[in-house]
Structure 1
Amino acid sequence: MTYLQSIGEVIGFLLLSTFSILDGIIRSFIPKKYKMKNIGGEIALVTGGGGGLGRLLSLRLANLGAIVIIWDINETGIEETIKLIRAAGGTCYGYVCDLCDRTDIYKKAKIIRKEIGKVTVLINNAGIVTGMKFLDTPDELIIRTMDVNIMSHFWTVKAFLPTMLESNKGHIVSVASLAGQCGIPKLIDYCASKFAAMGFDEALRMELEYEGYNINTTVVCPYFIRSTGMFDDVQSRYIPTLSPNAVADRIIMAMRCNEKYAIIPGYLQILLTLKCKRRFAKP
């Protein structure tokens, strides 16, 4: 590469960066209701849809006209979600799927393609937490946390991304956590898995953009959510725990507006910025 080529690439990079910044500023002034895409008729799959946040997301997707598929290990929870959605006039199918089993994921994905069609919206929502000190956490629980919270993202995306690429259409949502932004005692395995989920989303999005595909990805980082069975015992001193309904609404909005990144609540973005400044500050 010649000296002039190097200069040209730097100038090109600066111009593209400037354009992206200006585009983002202009888009920020457009009301969200005008940016929301229609998902009516889309086939949307939600992992962990048998209860909690996954059920709320499934209900909202169905209300917007999507054909909803839920995966969960809880068969009773699956049946309850299906009943709620169908009672409200929506379309929903459910499958028992063990997200710790890559073979089961691929098997159920093949069944879905045959019986229902091509999934165009994938929401990797399922998650578990142990809440134990690192040295007290059994190895098998650490492995299970990583399998459900991040490794399943690899397998579900590998299962459904090929058909999205064929039509150059799709959206992948990764439900991470603010625990993926900062370390928390007794949540070492959980934090690690959510850090990984954020990295997975960012690298996947960059690869898809580099290859010229119009596949959207969104990573969501909520604070502790109450009434989902995961963090009900958390005593939050300064920041109130979140309503699952509010989080579900925000996730659907982020997805429909093609947001790449959503912090919930949004004002915590300021604290994360201060954290980054502290991390890179000179000692």
Structure 2
Amino acid sequence: MNIIFDLLQVVVIIIYSYLEALVKLFIPVKRKSVSGETVLITGAGHGIGRVTAYEFAKRQSKLILWDINKHGVEETAEGCKKLGAKAYSFVVDCSVKEEIYAAAEKVKREIGDVTILVNNAGVVATADLLSTKDEQIQKIFEVNILAHHWTIKAFLPAMMESNHGHIVTVASAGGHVTVPFLVSYCSSKFAAVGFHKALTQELAALGKDGIKTSCLCPVFINTGFVKQPRSRLVPILEPEKVANALMDGILCNQKMIFVPPFVKFNLLLERILPERALVALNKMLRIDFDAVVQGEKKKD
């Protein structure tokens, strides 16, 4: 009888969830305030990290900015200060666990506990697998997923003690759908998406409902991260658009943030279309970028 009761309870929750989603289409979701929150952003010296820092600065958060590029991260900090926010810059190589832990201790000692953590730092190698150097593959995983473990192990205990915080995983649409010549990158982003989902479930199991999680999954962004991205149908996004979507998702405690939203439809197609149809769809999309293939620069 217990299993029948549990099944009925699940059905009721499913119906309620769909009705709630329908209501939210017409009634805006209440946004939380991040004023006064202490926000740490990795990879803040350029691109999405920089623009996201500016969005938090506009909302009077306290910014802690990490990047391997000293000039870039200091420039971001100055921009945040001009917007009226307190900002602190740190030069940190997120591929080195010891640097992460040392910087984290310094942050906690000199500034205080982090309440919003944005794991944004990332690296990529655009090449076929055999042309990708071993050290490139290792660094991709060190920065794109292992660093998330070290930053969260450093800052999560204080969030758990107060049952308050927000952890943001910057992943990619490449963490859900694959692209040739980005094998290591896509693998690391699949890991990041899985990490976000598992961490979210673990926090729920521990009863830490005050710690929210969000995962950002955009398509190609015009930051120079991937050289000359192009596609027949998939848009190349500007950093400001992605940062705005991320901020909106954080303020609404959105779990998975797809930019543009139609990426969710692609995920559905991957599950229902036969393989031959998926190959034809990929050919139609013509997703392309500068890459090294078999030791030489790929030609269109």
Q: Does TM, normalized by the shorter one, top 0.5?
A: yes
| Paired-residue identity, % | 40
Aligned to 1:106: 101
Residues 1-283 of structure 1 correspond to what in structure 2 (within 5 A)?
Answer: 4-32=1-29, 35-213=30-208, 214-226=210-222, 228-278=223-273
TM-score (norm 1): 0.93
Per-residue CA deviations over 1:111-140 (Å, capped at 9, x if unaligned) read 111111111111111111100110111111
Question: What amino acid is the match of 1:100?
Answer: S
CA contact (8 A) 2:60 2:84 kept: no
Given the superposition, is the C-alpha separation of residues 279 and 167 from structure 1 closer, same or farther in structure 2, using an over 3 Å criterion?
A: farther
Q: Unaligned 5+ residue runs, structure 1?
A: none
Larger CA deviation: 144-153 vs 101-110: 101-110
Question: What amino acid is the match of 1:6?
Answer: I
Alignment size in residue pairs: 275
Given the superposition, is the C-alpha separation of residues 279 and 158 from structure 1 closer, same or farther in structure 2, using an over 3 Å criterion?
A: farther
Distance, in Å, in 1 between the alignment partners of 2:74 and 2:206 is 40
Q: Unaligned 5+ residue runs, structure 2?
A: 277-300
Distance, in Å, in 2 between the alignment partners of 1:101 and 1:25 is 45
TM-score (norm 2): 0.87
Per-residue CA deviations over 1:75-115 (Å, capped at 9, x if unaligned) read 11111111111123221001111111112211111111111
Distance, in Å, in 2 between the alignment partners of 1:166 and 1:229 is 40
Shift of 1:190: 0.4
Given the superposition, is the C-alpha separation of residues 166 and 280 from structure 1 closer, same or farther in structure 2, using an over 3 Å criterion?
A: farther
Distance, in Å, in 2 between the alignment partners of 1:14 and 1:165 is 31
Distance, in Å, in 2 between the alignment partners of 1:223 and 1:79 is 28
Q: Secondary structure at the match of 2:273?
A: helix
Distance, in Å, in 1 between the alignment partners of 2:8 and 2:191 is 33
Given the superposition, is the C-alpha separation of residues 216 and 238 from structure 1 closer, same or farther in structure 2, using an over 3 Å criterion?
A: same
Distance, in Å, in 2 between the alignment partners of 1:123 and 1:184 is 25
Given the superposition, is the C-alpha separation of residues 279 and 140 from structure 1 closer, same or farther in structure 2, using an over 3 Å criterion?
A: farther
Per-residue CA deviations over 1:51-95 (Å, capped at 9, x if unaligned) read 111111111101101000111111111111111111232210011
Given the superposition, is the C-alpha separation of residues 279 and 116 from structure 1 closer, same or farther in structure 2, using an over 3 Å criterion?
A: farther
Distance, in Å, in 2 between the alignment partners of 1:240 and 1:78 is 28
CA contact (8 A) 2:173 2:263 kept: no
Shift of 1:238: 1.8
Distance, in Å, in 2 between the alignment partners of 1:196 and 1:222 is 16
Q: Secondary structure at the match of 1:225?
A: coil
Distance, in Å, in 2 between the alignment partners of 1:248 and 1:128 is 18
Q: Secondary structure at the match of 1:164?
A: helix
Shift of 1:279: 6.4
Aligned to 2:292: none
Question: What amino acid is the match of 2:84?
Answer: G
Per-residue CA deviations over 1:4-38 (Å, capped at 9, x if unaligned) read 22223322333333333333333343224xx2111
Q: Secondary structure at the match of 1:147?
A: helix
Question: What amino acid is the match of 1:278?
Answer: L
CA contact (8 A) 2:94 2:100 kept: yes
Larger CA deviation: 100-109 vs 241-250: 100-109
Given the superposition, is the C-alpha separation of residues 154 and 280 from structure 1 closer, same or farther in structure 2, using an over 3 Å criterion?
A: farther
